[in-house]
Structures are given as C-alpha cells and as structure tokens.
Amino acid sequence: MFDTHAVARSLAAADFTPAQADALTDALRLAVEQGDHVTSDQFKTGQAELRAEIASLDTRLSTQIAEVRTEVANVAADLKSDMKLVKFGYGPVVLGLLIKLVFFP
C-alpha cells in the first residue's frame, strides 16, 4: 500500500510547498496504482528469459553462419573447377577454332 500522507510529510520536510508535495504525491500514487512496475523477482525472471532467448538466437545464428560459410566454400570450389575447365579445357578448342578460321578459311 502506498502511504500518501507519509510521502507528503517527507516532501514537506524537504522544503517542498504543500502544493508541490501534493502534486508529486498524486503523481507517485497514480504510478503505483497503474501497476507499471515489477517486483525484483519478476525483473530477474524476465531477465533470465531474455538471456535464454538471446543464447538460443546466438546458437541459431552461429549455425546459420557456419552453413553459409560452407556453402560459399563449395561455390568457390565449383568456380575454381569451372575456371580450370575454361582455361585448360576450352582454351585449346577456342585456339584451334581461331587458327582454323584465320589460316584455313
């Protein structure tokens, strides 16, 4: 329970005017009544839940990053293989065609 009289007395003792003390006490009372606060246990529970969710997301993200790295490495290997084929496989064929076209039209 929120003791508004005790709060108003404390504020008056701290040199607040009665009007200031009443206004601040009313604002504090409304905040307490609206329930926009949590207990220490509720806060700790929420914090633990968030930490667990972050850890889960971290694990999933790490797994996905590893999968992407593997996929990129596979694509890079395929490209290197294709480039070797172009360089050494098709190169002589293209050169032969050029020679035929130039020297034996």
- Which residues constitute the domain of residue 26? 1-37
Model confidence pTM above 0.85: no
Which tokens belong to 62?
């790490």
Number of alpha carbons in the 13 Å side-chain half-sphere of residue 88: 5
pLDDT band at 60 (very low <50, low <70, confident <90, very high): very high
- Is 33 inside a domain boundary? yes
**Count of domains forming the chain:** 1
32 domain-assigned: yes
Give whole-number Cα distances, 32 to 19, 20, 51, 63, 80, in Å: 20, 18, 28, 45, 68
In a domain, 53, yes or no: no
Residue 30 included in any domain = yes
In a domain, 66, yes or no: no
In a domain, 51, yes or no: no
**32 within 8 A of 2, measured Cβ to Cβ:** yes
The reply to whether 49 falls in a domain is: no
Asked whether residue 94 is domain-assigned, the answer is no
- pLDDT over 70 percentage in the chain: 96
